[in-house]
Chain A
Amino acid sequence: MKVQQISIFIENKAGRLAEVTRVLGESGVNIRALSLADTSDFGILRLIVDKIDAAQEILKSGGFTVNKTDVVAVEVPDRPLGLYSILETLDRGRINVEYMYAFAEHDGANAVIIFRFDDPDAAVDLLRKTGIHMLDGEAVYNM
């Protein structure tokens, strides 16, 4: 139930983010979701893409530093307290969230939250037991 994400190191200077998207786009890679964490000097761009291996290859040969990590995609009902019920479950299960970001599904009925856990296996177990709906890799890549 894990989804692969790629992270790219980018220096905080003009045009670098555009360069990543250009390199990917020209190779026919489509970005599904993204999040950017930044400091004054550098940023870490995390992407969910449709063709992960190709994307990693292309970026590496374009001179970027790229890592792959496992994240978990959770479907969140689009209503008040929808996210809270999930976070509360994780909290009670003592699962630590390193970071998270969200995007909406095409039909707009649900939101998808991408979670990076320090212990993804334990998180997946817990979420499964409590009946929280997760999306598998294929589902997310082909959204």
Chain B
Amino acid sequence: MNFSEGRLRVFDPRHECIDRGQLERLQLERLQQVVHRVQKNVPCYQNKFREAGVDAREIRNLSDLSRLPFTTKDDLRQNYPYDMFAVPMKEVVRIHSSSGTTGKPTVVGYTRSDLHTWTDLVARFMTAAGVHDEDIVHIAFGYGLFTGAFGLHYGAERIGASVIPMSGGNTEKQLMILQDYKSTALVCTPSYALTLADRMEQAGMNPRDLSLEVGLFGAEPWSEQMRVEIEERLGIVATDNYGLSEVMGPGVAGECLYKCGMHIAEDHFIAETIDPDTGDVLPPGSKGELVITTLTKEGIPLIRYRTRDITRIHQEICECGRTLARMEKTMGRSDDMLIIKGVNVFPTQIEEVLFKVEGCQPHYQLIVDREDNRDSLEVQVEVQECIFFDEMRQQREFVQSVEGELATMLGVSAKVKLVEPNSIPRHEGKAQRVIDRRNKDL
């Protein structure tokens, strides 16, 4: 292991190293409470439970969880902005929002107690990733509605580390601060970590000369190969962490220094894996869609929330001594949503843009790739008469206006490539919408 003993600590041994029997008793007690709470306070759950013919009083064992209906992102959208909240607004002290850019984002509210839990859980995984009170933590996530920056910020403060709330962008300044302020821990997306390495090398700096020792990367899927590259180029230990704003934000799960899966905060969340098609619960170790039930959240508790992330969960005890189950790096999504440069992109948004620009609906395909460790999006559009012009100027203007509209709507840049009719493969008449080449080495 290439890390010092001083970095091997456990933030909350009582919960992180809990005996499984004890954990399950705690989970059941908390599950019963949260199910009662949502049944009492959230109309969406009152309806869902009624339709499913279940009542909070019928939850007597953890296995009864599977009798409860799922919650989906759609439920959150339909109850936009505040109808999923289980407490009155006067108890909500913070609002965050998903990075979702489709029509309406999803809104989440935190009570004081929720923020306290969140801060502790982030402190927990940051400690597991090697951060301690002597670290100088450089946070290069954008501060705002996105949960990443604030989550890591308060978690690092909770540990007692010195936090630099750098926020995103301005790479030159990031480099100056990393160098001059002697940051020892870096928090950003994995792709940005490599951008920093590139920029340093271009400027003739050796990234390994920085004071950085650990890196905590999240908010987008990344491969083991990318981890190796980040670790080698920056000379750090790089760990992954998982969270989603609907459920809490970062802190749902995070890797320890043994890097063999992300420990799930099971005292606050029950994680199941299901078959995304049938909804059946799968045994531990099987690959399936991650479903999360929040046990302690007050602001917006979620019962069996379908994350759409595909992973495996392992319950074997980790070398680090933590007993909490570990989830593997996510292996893709069970629906069509893509995360490109940390931004949620839905294929249907492309349809909207194409329709808006020329009033017709050509076949299209999204090609997502990773070049030089940065996500790239190419939109291939089959040329139809309605978007074909005999003048090159008009044809290029069309491409440019689609690219412009896509950038505005998605928040990420996309290259538009015109292709001949029927060149996009169809399955049963339907074009395959997405080719994601990033996941081949995950």
Contact = CB atoms under 8 A, between A and B. Distances in A.
A9 B384 CA distance: 9
A7 B388 CA distance: 9
B423 interface: yes
Contact of B391 (A39, A65, A66, A116): A116
Interface stretch (A22-30, A40-48, A72-80, A135-143): A40-48
B2 interface: no
Contacts of A69: 390
- Most chain B Cβ neighbours within 10 Å, of A39, A44, A64: A44
Contacts, number: 52
Q: Which size class do B's interface residues fall under?
A: 10 to 19
Interface string A4-30: 010101110000100000000000000
B391 A9 contact: no
Contacts of A39: 392, 396
A16 B390 CA distance: 17
B390 A44 contact: yes
A108 interface: no
Contacts of A9: 383, 388, 418, 420
Contacts of A46: 390
Contacts of A85: none
A37 interface: yes
Interface string B412-439: 0000011111110000000000000000
B394 to A, nearest CB: 9
Nearest to A71: B390
B389 interface: yes
B395 A44 contact: yes
Given A65-B384, A66-B385, A7 B390 contact: yes
A10 B420 contact: yes
B393 interface: yes
Contacts of A107: none
Interface residues of A, number: 21
B419 to A, nearest CB: 6
Interface string B292-308: 00000000000000000
Contact of A44 (B385, B392, B417, B422): B392
A67 B391 contact: no
A63 interface: yes
Contacts of B423: 11
Contact of B420 (A5, A65, A67, A98): A65
A95 to B, nearest CB: 15
B383 A65 contact: yes
A63 B391 contact: no
Given A9-B383, A39-B396, A44-B395, A63 B390 contact: no
Contacts of A10: 420
A63 B382 CA distance: 11
Nearest to A98: B391
A67 B384 CA distance: 9
Given A39-B396, A66-B385, A16 B391 contact: no
B390 A65 contact: no
Given A7-B388, A9-B383, A9-B388, A63 B421 contact: yes
- Most chain A Cβ neighbours within 10 Å, of B383, B384, B390: B390
Nearest to B415: A41
- Most chain A Cβ neighbours within 10 Å, of B383, B418, B420, B421: B420
4 smallest beta-carbon distances between A and B, as pairs: A7-B390, A9-B383, A37-B392, A65-B383
Interface of B: 383-385, 388-393, 395-396, 417-423
5 contacts: A42-B383, A65-B385, A66-B385, A67-B389, A98-B393
